[in-house]
Structure 1
Amino acid sequence: MFPAALITVDYSAAQGPLLDCLSDLRDMGVTRVILIHVVQVGYALGASYGNKEALEDWLQGRAAPLHAAGMEVEIEIRAAGEVAKEILQAATDHRADLTVIGSRGQNMIRGLFLGSVAREVIRLSTQPVRLEWIESTGKDGDGACARTCHAGLRRVVLGTDFSQQSQASEKASMALARLGTHVDVMHVLAPDGGKIYARWPRMAQAALSYIVDDIIAAGGTAEAHILTGKPSEEIARLAADRDADLIVVGKHGQGWVASMAIGSTAANLCEIARRPVLMVPFIKTEE
């Protein structure tokens, strides 16, 4: 599904655990990994600035379990003023199919907030991005952190609004279904949606049934869910109730006027999900 993954790492405790769950990468079809660290030019507090040899040793150490798992691994260090853009340029240069990034919390005890680099990567990327959830493991904020691991990709939640922007995420979920993954397909109705158009709940249920049938045909199992409320909150709630290993959602592709923002549902979801989120962009092509 995603043969080559570019994984961004740095010296912080919040990024260190990013490689702790190898089964996730294997289940997503990853066989080649590029570990990259981008030194922000002019950022004096960067722990790796001017310390390339130590950083290379650290990256090689982080690559060891990936090598042991039979993956092809490359490491790279870059310097740039705009870190997010350099990460995406590296993904293009290495022909990566997936970019993986962790989100550092401003205060990991009170809750996780998308870091500026992660948010910019998600906003600008024209390729799928997997945002990892990093938890604090102690009282020292992000001084002691761990990645939230699940047992592979047993269960996935797919949030869809049936728009063009959801089609790519639906296809990604069908690809995961070929692994035997269970997919909970959900659509969230606005609280007053039925009043605006009384037939919409039944139409949504019918549309979900078609997606469920496609997932089953692909080799997985699936259930349809229609909930009412704020989409990001309802998606996160269902994912928690079902102990989902991954949430899959779509977003606008770069080049759209609307892509200047991630999209309120996707952005909010990344801040409250407490589990990995795969964001799959829809790219509009010229007709």
Structure 2
Amino acid sequence: MTEHQSILVGVDGSAESLHAMEWAAAYARETGCTLHLVSSFMLPGFTGSYSFAHDIPMVDDPYARRYVEDLLVRAHKRVVEVGVPATTEVTTGEATSVLAERSAGRRFVVIGARGAGGFVERLLGTVSANLPVRAQCPTVVVPLHAKDADGDGDATDTRRTRRIVVGVDGSRPSEAAVETAVAQAQAWGAEVAVVRAVTMVGWSHSPWLDTGFRESVMSSARDETDRLRARLATTYPDVVTTTDVVEGHAVDVLVAASQEADLLVVGSRGRGGIRGLVLGSTSQAVLRRSRCPVLVPRR
């Protein structure tokens, strides 16, 4: 099996990373992919007592390695029991670098995140915000919410993907996001909901809004998404596609859409509300607040 049929999964033993692994296992069983489970650790450094200018990293330790090996054994058992082939790897190093280096040629790299606030921080460290920038394949960030955290069920017991939402803004990266969403719809047998956010914030007192400017902007956005839907219907007749134009900030609109979605696809960069989605505050907000897994295509 080639690497592009392999899914890289960051595992650190936390409920967040195990839930992400379950999502990856469900996808693998649906599509015939394999999993490669990776756990990385890097012990704190120490400062020399004399004239050392920097901390000296303690890059390995038999006790830490044994702990990580044990958690990977348990994770591996969990996925192979449901018929998903998997390999494991224990290594040392900073988590984002480890996963980015191993992501070349993969179908996805999958990581977990807390669904109610800050990003998961365990042995693998905080990677959700930085990995999509550096990964050499698409990144999937899977949030964990209270309803997901009971620990029951098998490794593919997560909800199957039936509805995929993709955010668009007319930019080239968002077009790539649409293609990614369609490919995922074909893999899962899902429908695609195209969502366009139109931000009017800061314009509420502008005089031209009284002359129909607002409706003109909304109408233009609807026409654009209608053309996109027609093109997708012609090119991908097997994929059911809907479109929606919503007034509001991109983050709020996409997070609201994620409430009824099984997967949210966003472009890595764009214009307007989606600009800097990976690098800036919009990225942080979407990845923190999404109620479903978020897929970021490779930049």
Q: TM over 0.5: same fold? A: yes
Q: For residues 102-148 of structure 1, what are the alpha-carbon distances to aligned partners after superposition, in whole Å with 9 as ceiling and x for unaligned?
A: 11x4xx7xx2223532212123224211001112469xxx9x77899
Q: CA deviation at 1:198?
A: 6.2
Cα 1:120/1:149, change in 2 over 3 Å:
farther
Paired position in structure 1 for 2:137? 127
Q: Which runs of 5+ in 2 are unaligned?
A: 47-58, 121-125
User: For 1:213 and 1:26, how far apart are their aligned partners in 2?
Assistant: 32
Q: Which runs of 5+ in 1 are unaligned?
A: 283-287
Taking structure 1 as the reference length, the TM-score comes to 0.77
Q: For residues 213-246 of structure 1, what are the alpha-carbon distances to aligned partners after superposition, in whole Å with 9 as ceiling and x for unaligned?
A: 3444241212110001111111111221xx2111
Q: Which amino acid aligns with 1:31?
A: C
Equivalent residues, number: 260
Cα 1:127/1:153, change in 2 over 3 Å:
same
Paired position in structure 2 for 1:67? 80
Quick check: 163-172 or 200-209, which moved more? 200-209
Paired position in structure 2 for 1:285? none
Identity of aligned residues (%): 18
Paired residues of 1:134 and 1:145 also in contact (CA < 8 A)? no
Paired residues of 1:4 and 1:30 also in contact (CA < 8 A)? no
Quick check: 116-125 or 221-230, which moved more? 116-125
Q: CA deviation at 1:36?
A: 0.2
Q: For residues 71-127 of structure 1, what are the alpha-carbon distances to aligned partners after superposition, in whole Å with 9 as ceiling and x for unaligned?
A: 3311001101x32112111223xx322110011x4xx7xx22235322121232242
Cα 1:15/1:178, change in 2 over 3 Å:
closer
The ranges of structure 1 where at least 4 consecutive aligned residues each deviate by more than 6 angstroms after the TM superposition are: 144-149
Aligned partner (choices 4, 8, 11) of residue 9 of structure 1: 11
Paired residues of 1:174 and 1:218 also in contact (CA < 8 A)? no
Cα 1:210/1:177, change in 2 over 3 Å:
farther
Q: Secondary structure at 1:251's aligned position in 2? A: coil
Paired residues of 1:5 and 1:96 also in contact (CA < 8 A)? yes
Higher Rg:
2
Paired residues of 2:11 and 2:21 also in contact (CA < 8 A)? no
Aligned partner (choices 170, 173, 180) of residue 172 of structure 1: 180
Quick check: 271-280 or 57-66, which moved more? 57-66
Taking structure 2 as the reference length, the TM-score comes to 0.74
Q: For residues 255-283 of structure 1, what are the alpha-carbon distances to aligned partners after superposition, in whole Å with 9 as ceiling and x for unaligned?
A: xxx8796244333111111211111133x
Q: CA deviation at 1:178?
A: 2.1
Q: Which amino acid aligns with 2:100?
A: L
State yes or no: 1:36 paired with 2:41. Answer: no
Aligned partner (choices 249, 252, 258) of residue 233 of structure 1: 252
Cα 1:41/1:87, change in 2 over 3 Å:
farther
Q: Secondary structure at 1:86's aligned position in 2? A: helix
